[in-house]
Amino acid sequence: MLWTVLLLLLGAGIWRIWYNKQELDKAAEMSRLTNAFVPVEVASPTLETLSNTLETDGIFLPAKEMFVISETAGRVLEVFKNKGEWVREGEIIAKVDDELLTIELEATQANLAKLRKDRERLTNLIEGEAAPKNKIEDLELGILAAESKEKGLKKQIANTSIKAPMTGTMGLRFIERGSVIGPGIQVAQVTNLEKLFLMVKATERDVLFIKKGQRVEVQPDVYAGTVIPAVVTNIGLRADNAFNYDVEIETPNPEATPLRAGMHAKAKFTFSSNRNGMTIPRKCITGSLQDARVFVVVGDTAVQQRPIKTGAIYGDKVEVLSGLDASERIVVSGQMNLVDGAKVKIN
């Protein structure tokens, strides 16, 4: 037993020494890359006139989606629709117990009938001058109160039949037969995908060219070569933290190429005149265009790796939507040997 413990301790010590050496080697390599001057070539972004088209990526969202909210309290007696089923506006989704409300309504209606009968008798007495006229005022007030209560009870009973607020597919259902619910509880979610909104971003330069009602060509990623005509329905009034504006594009959902919320697509805008933009050489980019990064020279010797957002591609140039300033210098060649913070020698 003692020898086993000693062997385990010895093995752990050897592994720890090996691990520390690996970490030291990594640190030394990083220090070498950081302290050594790596020869690079640099260039600055170019402001130029671009083509009269703009392509930008976006995600589809449902044009209509709504939660079904309970307006009553009680036990669910029956559920009539399941997830994935098509429902029409006003169609009953579930039924909640209304027995006590019905009993109270019957009692209210009986009392209301009695009050009306009493009013009829009192009216006859007043006409025969057998009763004073002011007696009927209290009776009229009682009838008004009973009528209001009757109307409220009928509304409460109607609310026990939970109905779809819009036409669409029941994507979610949160209740089962026997569930107990209360007012304000989410019962289900109905989604209509007959139309979709493609949500894209536009820079502060591009958003000035985009107009509400403008025609757009939408190209879903899942259907290569498919082009769907769409229209701009809304343009954001306020930029986000990256100084981009939301653009909402209403897109029909073709039966031959059905789309779902969450899918990606490209929106192609065509403008009446050319637009200005900032471009950099494509070879500056490390990684993919979807996760584009460049090395920016900081001061005279150091570099900083920075993420950028790219736009359209023009031959060996790529449009930069955000992340760079026209006055900055970026590494064109030699970036394969660079790390963040490395020192460089500009050729």
Any domain includes 224: yes
Flag whether 17 is in a domain: no
In a shared domain, residues 269 and 280 = no
Both 303 and 265 in a single domain?
no
Positive or negative torsion for Cα 58, 62, 64, 65: negative
Which residue carries 């009216």 as its tokens? 123
Q: In the prediction, which pLDDT does 343 show?
A: 86
CATH of the domain at 141: 1.10.287
Q: What whole-number distance in Å separates Cα of residue 336 and Cα of residue 129?
A: 110
Q: Write down the residue that tokens 């993919």 correspond to.
A: 288
* Residue at which a domain ends, from 274, 291, 306: 274
Nearest to 205, CA basis, from 339, 117, 311: 311
For the beta sheet containing 317-322, the strands, ordered from the edge strand earlier in sequence to the opposite edge, are: 46-50, 275-281, 317-322, 309-314
Domain CATH code at residue 279 = 2.40.420.20
The CATH code of the domain that includes 227 is: 2.40.30.170
Nearest C-alpha neighbor of 298 from the set 329, 324, 326: 329
In a domain, 255, yes or no: yes
Q: What is the pTM of this model?
A: 0.62
Q: Which residue has the tokens 């899942």?
A: 222
Domain housing 243:
53-63+193-274
Question: In the structure encoding, which two tokens stand for residue 150, read together?
Answer: 């009757």
Least confident of 3-17, 52-66, 98-112, 125-139: 3-17
Question: Does residue 82 belong to any structural domain of this protein?
Answer: no
Task: Tell me: do 279 and 298 sit in the same domain.
Answer: yes
User: For 205-243, what is each residue's pLDDT tens digit?
Assistant: 788 889 999 999 999 999 988 999 999 999 999 988 878
Residues 103 and 43 in one domain: no
**Backbone dihedral region of 287: left (phi > 0), alpha (psi from -120 to 50 degrees) or beta?**
left
Q: Judge whether residue 30 has pLDDT over 70.
A: no
Residue 89, in any domain of the structure? no
- Domain end position, chosen among 274, 294, 309: 274
| 38-55 mean pLDDT | 85
- Interatomic CA distance for residues 241 and 247, integer angstroms: 15
pLDDT class of 163 with cuts at 50, 70, 90: very high
- pLDDT number for residue 38: 84
Task: Kindly state whether residues 269 and 202 are assigned to the same domain.
Answer: yes
Please indicate, yes or no, whether residues 267 and 289 belong to a single structural domain of this protein. Answer: no
Residues 265 and 298 in one domain: no
Determine the average pLDDT of the residues in 66-83: 95
Q: Which of 159, 183, 206 is the last residue of a domain?
A: 159
Residue 284 has pLDDT above 80, yes or no: yes
Q: How far apart are CA 58 and CA 220, in angstroms?
A: 9
Number of compact structural domains in the chain: 3
pLDDT tens digits, one per residue of 178-210: 999 999 999 999 999 999 999 999 888 788 889
Query: What is the Cα gyration radius of the chain?
Result: 36
For residues 319-329, one letter each, b for 16 or more C-beta atoms within 10 angstroms of the residue's C-beta and e for the rest, the string is bbbbbbeeebb
